[in-house]
Chains A and B, each alone.
Chain A
Amino acid sequence: MITSTGLSLLVYPALLLAAITPVVLIYLVWQDVRENKLW
């Protein structure tokens, strides 16, 4: 049986990763645009 702490240890890191992903993706695309390597 997973505890309440266990549940939060599963969900919080996942939530953090999902939240920063759009920032990382926009940064990567911006880098590609700057170096003229978008496509």
Chain B
Amino acid sequence: MLNANAILPSWIAWLIIAGFSCLWVALGWWLGRKNDTLDDYMLAGRKVGVGLAVATSMATWVTSNTTMTAPQLAYQLGIWGMVGYSLGAVGLILFAPIARRVRNLMPEGYTSGDFIRLRYGVTAWRIFLIISLFYSFGWLISLGMAGGLLINALSGISYFYGMTVIVTICTLYTVFGGLKAVIGTDFVQTILILIGITVLAILVIDAVGFEEIHNTLSEQRPELLNLLLPASIMFLFNNLFFGVGEIFHSNVWWSRAFAFAPGVGFRAYVLAGIFWLPVPVVAGFIALAAPALGINVPSPDMVAPLVAGKLFGIFGAILVFVVVFSALASSLDSVLAATSDLIVKDIYKGHFRKNASGNELRKAAVWIILGLGALTWAFSLPRIATLGALLHFTGAFVASTIWPIAIGIFYRRGSGRLASLAMVLGTASGLYAYFTIGFYVAALVSATVSMLVMMLAFKEKATFDWAILSENRNSK
């Protein structure tokens, strides 16, 4: 199972894993030691300041995909690949006004499910929960599998050990410290990721230079420099809608909107979007140096580590390993915590234990995080490629939620029946497009159909009473 092409000796990789694992778990325990209430555990006390708020939003959106797929896309789709990927930042920026509004309208809200239930009623809530949990599960498995595959590819450590370690560590510190542990470790991970990719890019420019990179590309891979590549432009727009759909519906981002102190959400999401924007461009640029270095790339997703290893030997390999390990952990912990919140509040309390106390819910949250960690591990274990691609498949589902959320939060028009119809028809048409045209239009079609349905809301009377959203405090 050892990988002959690994760029890092496995004993060094184990040392890095052990060091960071101890750091994350200790930090998680230390940050969580003063957690008293359910709000402390699930929402970090609802008073997160702007510094940590920006860092956690950014780090969560910098996944293993950003650091590995952006270079792959640059290598396969060229300039539009990495620019298209960086448009993922638009989702963060567009979520800023939503974050501000939900914090004001629902001062005691917990999850995105809370909003859908209070705004659109039980049927839309259940459709939304199916979409959201399916997406969360797809994201968890894709991260678990990416952990095993990347650690194996970089260091030769077996898939089983790599995947087991990353899932176990993230589950442990999330259980110990709740959202505070997630946000605290996110801050450190953001700094590590940014320093890592910046140093690598500067070293690439210093060692190879723009002229040489450009000359080799125009000789060997001129299509990568083409700005009128139709498939890439289609990818760009689809990626934009997929990203907006992911952020608008996922409790990962809603739980942060509830956790940030009043007045922080808008600034935090705008800044996080701006700071996230250059990450795929810088990571993608590293890959464009591959042809100039004469590197033989056996699989495109390994292009960034190969460049780092070829140019800077063991130092480059360590840098890439730290960046990837941090990117994986900063997303996996967030998805674990936010999915557990959704299950605790919307499934456990919402459907089975309606009168559960805060103390009972806090205990339930611990077991649910442990259960989600175990489930992620079990589904990542068989290494089924189609499961790894599950996240891709969810584009059709999540894009259907964009317009019901956007209209539902800013307008008093739009009924639960209409929102349910928009999500069902959007998802169905997105899936049809996925299978008949291709993955790169699924989110686009889904969002368009869902939008057309939601436009009917403007023919309805404005009847919704905003006060209903804050009534959550009475039913807590």
CB within 8 Å of B: which residues of A? Answer: 1-4, 7-8, 10-11, 13-15, 17-19, 21-22, 24-32, 37-39
Contacts and interface: CB of A to CB of B under 8 A. Distances in A.
Interface residues of B, number: 46
Contacts of B278: 13-15, 17-18, 21
Given A1-B227, A7-B288, 13 more contacts: A1-B218, A4-B215, A13-B278, A15-B201, A15-B202, A17-B278, A22-B191, A25-B191, A25-B275, A26-B51, A27-B51, A30-B51, A32-B50
A37 B197 CA distance: 30
A5 B260 CA distance: 41
A37 B48 CA distance: 7
Contacts of A28: 49-51, 54
Interface string B274-315: 110111011001001000000000000000000000000000
Smallest CB-CB A-B distances: 4 pairs: A28-B51, A29-B51, A14-B278, A32-B49
B454 interface: no
Given A15-B202, A18-B197, A39 B279 contact: no
Contacts of B261: 37, 39
Contacts of B51: 25-32, 38
Contacts of A3: 214
A11 B201 contact: yes
B190 interface: yes
Contacts of B191: 22, 25-26
B210 interface: yes
A13 to B, nearest CB: 7
Interface in B185-211: 187, 190-191, 194-195, 197-198, 201-202, 205, 210-211
Interface of B is mostly: helix
B222 interface: yes
Contacts of A2: 79, 225, 227
23 contacts: A1-B227, A3-B214, A4-B210, A4-B211, A7-B79, A10-B281, A14-B282, A15-B202, A17-B277, A18-B278, A18-B279, A18-B282, A21-B58, A21-B194, A21-B278, A22-B191, A25-B51, A25-B187, A25-B190, A28-B54, A32-B52, A38-B52, A39-B48
Contact of A22 (B47, B48, B195, B202): B195
B225 A1 contact: yes
Among B49, B52, B187, max chain A CB count under 10 A is at B49
B213 interface: yes
Contact of B198 (A18, A29, A30, A37): A18
Contact of B282 (A8, A15, A30, A38): A15
A25 B281 CA distance: 20
Contact of B44 (A10, A14, A24, A39): A39
Interface string B27-64: 00000000000000000110111111011001000000
A4 B50 CA distance: 38
Contacts of A24: 275
Contacts of A4: 210-211, 214-215
B83 interface: yes
Given A1-B218, A2-B79, A4-B214, A14 B55 contact: no
Contacts of B54: 25, 28
Interface in B224-240: 225-227
Nearest to A19: B198
Contacts of B222: 1
